[in-house]
Structure 1
């Protein structure tokens, strides 16, 4: 009689598994979660610092690829935005975004000063540094420092000359009425004084190379010292060498008390009757006018379009402009060449 067939051994019972996955970490329902960490890419991480937006306050974000090292969080939309893509920005070569939202370039000349804002109670000169490319008819230029007149005071903001860049080494130079201002290398470090023209405060927004300066009722300036990187030099054929990384300022401005007659390279774009003179539809719309905007020194108010008297004009219209600006929705173009603003 044949043997009965062998019965295969029963398989071991399955390993127990949780009945359900752990619940996801909760995030505010009205905002998308911040992007994952990108420390390996070297991109900067930024947070909303305005406690008036509790659903966004403290959430960390990665700077966009268009500005991996210079951005801030718009707490209203809870998203990172490039500092240099907003009206009032002056960055790079130098690239201006006017109060009207139109992007243009003003190259000026190296080792010379040009008035970028001139009004009755505010005059701002920019000192340009640069390098000549022998295949071009102009200098590559960047804003190295600002000389600011307001009331009867003088404020200086500058980037110190630097060979090899190290962001942990502060290269900012600050002075008020000839007095050097020294701040600890710590985010949030603050200097303030009550001047005849009102309160003035200077606050570090990073441990080094970045400050926010506000003159009560007059202006707010965000200034960041940045170098020309090797990658930028190769891309744009700047020819920057190891002897000088051309440390310069990337800037953003907000004004509280401009008059209708404000002028200057940037200031004129806030005037009530301003019509842009730049040629639109080109890759680099350039504004001329070296002669009319040239100043003799960093603190001189002798450019052809100067308006400075040290007193606030009676035809101030800042409140109207602030209302106009607050009703605009601005975003950078797809290729990053401009800003589009809509009511």
Structure 2
């Protein structure tokens, strides 16, 4: 009888615990970063089953993740004093100081003098603020991927446009779009955003095409226009500011120090990025973020790729990284199409340099026109007309001691 009562009590207790667990629903969580507006406004995010009550949200991917437990530091090693020599032992010669061991050589993937970078996302507690060196492939231009807690070259991330334009689409597939020198092409076009790129380059008679690079961007959103471009220069000095910036036709000047910032409109910020004089981050809240860095064609690059660069012009151009916060499924453009709903890559895979065509469908008549064949932008009354202003490197002399980017015809 006693045994039966004990078993009954155990079954009752098990059922009560199961009922209590069933009533504890996973905790609701919310993205708190308004930069990722689509995720910020979501209200149906719950903690994973593996951690139903303790989690946070990665706003960029809009996915809840378990909050890792705090890392435990190992206790310091216990040290013991050296034994005292016997009194009657002969005096010992002084022990020479131990040589300080040299630090281990850096990992082959990192440059000895590479730029130091840190993870700045507090959601990744074990990686946050941890210092890394940029890889040898990009010693001066990299960021930390907080998810993997490792440095990543800016030009190797989805949304990158670098070099002889090398694009990495939203699907992570790399392709090239050469376009033509001294022409404009639509790289992103959507209902609330349109971005054209001006290409510069050199003709290669042996290849039947131009070597090209993105020299400047014309960005349209709402009734605003932003220009960002690389100034033409013969020799390269990274301590000199080679950036041209304007907002609605008016030059934007940034002091040459990290974090220098201008807000030409309430939701618009233009910020000097890191220790690099020639890097800037342009952000429109709830719409997009663009990181632009002016870089030259080096003598080494010219020799390896046979660009034929002379001392007259180092073809300073932009390396770009794009993030988009509110694209529609109908977005188009050289890069934009890779973010579209049901996009299928047209790039021929399995070759060393997969090239995307489509010069006709992406060609624009000027840097701020929205007349490419795939245009999606809903035009609003612009504050500037293309009949009044032109931009740097578009047959227009710069003003204000070479730093302005607009002039009248």
The TM-score, its normalising length taken from structure 2, stands at 0.65
Q: Which runs of 5+ in 1 are unaligned?
A: 1-9, 23-32, 312-343
Matches within 5 A, 1:137-148: 137-148=208-219
Matches within 5 A, 1:217-232: 217-232=286-301
- Aligned equivalent of 1:122: 193
SS at match of 2:258: coil
- Aligned equivalent of 1:266: 335
2:171 touches 2:338 (CA, 8 Å); kept in 1?
A: yes
The Cα offsets for residues 45-71 of structure 1, whole Å up to 9 and x where unpaired, read as 323344555544444322112212211
SS at match of 1:143: strand
Q: State how far apart, in whole Å, the 2-side matches of 1:55 and 1:310 are.
A: 46
2:329 touches 2:341 (CA, 8 Å); kept in 1?
A: yes
Distance change >3 Å, CA 21–CA 165, structure 1 → 2: closer
SS at match of 1:132: strand
1:161 aligns with 2:232: yes
Q: Which runs of 5+ in 2 are unaligned?
A: 1-88, 381-409
SS at match of 1:232: helix
1:34 touches 1:60 (CA, 8 Å); kept in 2?
A: no
The Cα offsets for residues 83-106 of structure 1, whole Å up to 9 and x where unpaired, read as 011110000000000011111000
1:194 touches 1:200 (CA, 8 Å); kept in 2?
A: yes
Match of 2:270 among 202, 214, 222: 202
CA deviation after TM superposition for structure 1 residue 133, in Å: 1.6
- Aligned equivalent of 1:13: 92
Q: State how far apart, in whole Å, the 1-side matches of 2:339 and 2:123 are.
A: 29
Q: State how far apart, in whole Å, the 2-side matches of 1:114 and 1:42 are.
A: 37
CA RMSD in angstroms comes to 2.8
Match of 1:275 among 338, 341, 344: 344
Give the count of matched residue pairs: 288
- Aligned equivalent of 1:243: 312
Q: State how far apart, in whole Å, the 2-side matches of 1:245 and 1:127 are.
A: 17
SS at match of 1:222: strand
- Aligned equivalent of 2:155: 84
1:64 aligns with 2:132: no
User: Which consecutive segments of 4 or more residues in structure 1 shift more than 6 A?
Assistant: none
Q: State how far apart, in whole Å, the 1-side matches of 2:105 and 2:129 are.
A: 11
CA deviation after TM superposition for structure 1 residue 298, in Å: 0.2
The TM-score, its normalising length taken from structure 1, stands at 0.78
Distance change >3 Å, CA 56–CA 40, structure 1 → 2: closer
Q: State how far apart, in whole Å, the 2-side matches of 1:93 and 1:127 are.
A: 13
Q: State how far apart, in whole Å, the 2-side matches of 1:39 and 1:89 are.
A: 21
Say which structure, 1 or 2, has more relative contact order (CA 8 Å, 6+ apart).
1
Q: State how far apart, in whole Å, the 1-side matches of 2:265 and 2:92 are.
A: 78
Q: State how far apart, in whole Å, the 2-side matches of 1:265 and 1:135 are.
A: 26
